[in-house]
Amino acid sequence: MRKKHLTLMVIPHNEDRVREFGLSWALIWGACAILIFCFAALIYYGVGYYVRLNREAKFATLEAENRALVEQMKMVDANLLQLRQRMNDLLSRDRQLRQMANLQPVNGEAPKAVAGNGPGVGGPAAVRGVAPASYPMVQRVSLDLDHLLHEVDLVKGSFEEVASKLDKDIDLRNHTPSISPVRPSEAWVSSWFGSRRDPFTGEVEMHAGLDICSQIGTKVVATADGVVAERREDAYFGRHIVLNHKYGLETLYGHLQRFEVEPGQKVKRGQVIGYVGRTGRATAPHVHYGVKQGGRWINPMPYILEREELVSRPSFALRDR
């Protein structure tokens, strides 16, 4: 059987003879296969070359970024050194403040200064995107940051505790009686806290306060911040005021001529609350000043800072008795 083939005729434009070429189908399919293979190889190597160039470009970019990151990490490490020094100063100041506030060191021991190397911890052997040579620096910076954050939380909590304690101390001081209810230069003590003979009956009795003599109408002031818990008149103390100072402290001001405050009113130390009088059971113008702590009357003298001035009897005292 005769094989099928194709004839390729080449007809020139001049007078040369026509050329004929016989092509078998096997040759044609073989040529097509070769062309397809060459085209596929061209695409494969072309794409591979492009991918390699792109990878090299990305690698070069990553190297540049890594170098920049290393430089930034060096700057961060230098800044961390300054932060560690400042944190150590804060820790030292915190210890001083806690001593001033009569507070125990944090956790029962003095806070430790931040060390250059943080505590040992586990972690991955490699850091993504960072050259292996930079691993130690990156890990050190990471540990230092963790340690600094821990110290910041420690100092923050300690400062808050110190501030709370100092605020409470200030409030306690403001609400603790510390001055005379009458200006010492205008008054003197005629009867002290303790046992005495009653000026009316002559019998020995407990005198739960101080009798501070002064001229009628002399200003009587609150000896500490507080609230007017009582303002009334009876046969014994006459017109009198009771102030509640918190922390279990109360003060009593008796035998007043008149009042200057209302029940429930808040008062400040040194604020005028009334005036010296002779109301109630009294032999002369004076203020009965009492201090009660925890529901029990105590000696007011330790709560008067200017007590040495108060006990000196002024010249007007004899004249106005």
Q: Are 179 and 304 in contact (CB under 8 A)?
A: yes
pLDDT value, residue 78: 79
Given 174, 207, 236, the domain boundary residue is: 174
pLDDT band at 319 (very low <50, low <70, confident <90, very high): very low
Residue 76 domain flag? no
In a domain, 77, yes or no: no
Tell whether 112 and 230 lie within a shared domain.
no
Q: Quote the DSSP letter at residue 83.
A: H
Domains identified in the chain, total number: 3
Say yes or no to pLDDT of 238 above 90. yes
More confident residue, 147 or 286: 286
Contact criterion met (CB below 8 Å) for 268 and 228: no
* pLDDT over 70 percentage in the chain: 83
Contact 266, 290 (CB under 8 A): no
Average pLDDT over residues 86-108: 75
For the stretch 143-182, pLDDT in tens is: 777 788 888 888 888 888 888 887 788 888 899 999 999 9
Per-residue pLDDT, 300: 93
Asked, for residue 216, whether it belongs to a domain, the answer is yes
Phi first, then psi, for residue 178 (nearest 5°) are: -145, 0
314 shares a domain with 188: yes
Regarding whether 198 and 170 lie in a shared domain, the answer is no
Same domain, 202 and 301: yes
* Domain assignment of residue 209, yes or no: yes
The candidate with the shortest Cα–Cα distance to 300, out of 169, 170, 181, is 181
Last residue in a domain, options 110, 143, 174: 174
Is the domain of 164 the same as that of 280? no
List the structure tokens of 147: 């340690």
What's the pLDDT at 72?
A: 79
In contact, 65 and 71? CB cutoff 8 Å = no
In the structure, how many helices (H) and strands (E) does the chain have? 4, 14
Beta pairing, strands 249-259 & 272-276: antiparallel
Whether 117 and 221 map to the same domain: the answer is no
| Domain identity same for 314 and 190 | yes
pLDDT 10s digits, 191-205: 899 888 877 777 888
Looking at per-residue pLDDT, the higher value among 242 and 9 belongs to 242
pTM above 0.75, yes or no: no
Pair (222, 302) in one structural domain? yes
Say how far apart CA 129 and CA 72 lie, in whole Å: 14
- Asked if 274 contacts 260 with a C-beta cutoff of 8 angstroms, the reply is yes
Q: Which helix (H) or strand (E) holds 300?
A: none
pLDDT value of residue 118: 43
Same domain? For 276 and 203 the reply is yes
Asked if 189 and 315 sit in the same domain, the reply is: yes
Claim to verify: residue 207 and residue 289 sit in the same structural domain = yes
CATH of the domain at 301: 2.70.70.10
Q: Do 189 and 170 reside in the same domain of the chain?
A: no
CA dist., res. 169 & res. 162, Å (int): 10
Structural domain range at position 192: 184-320
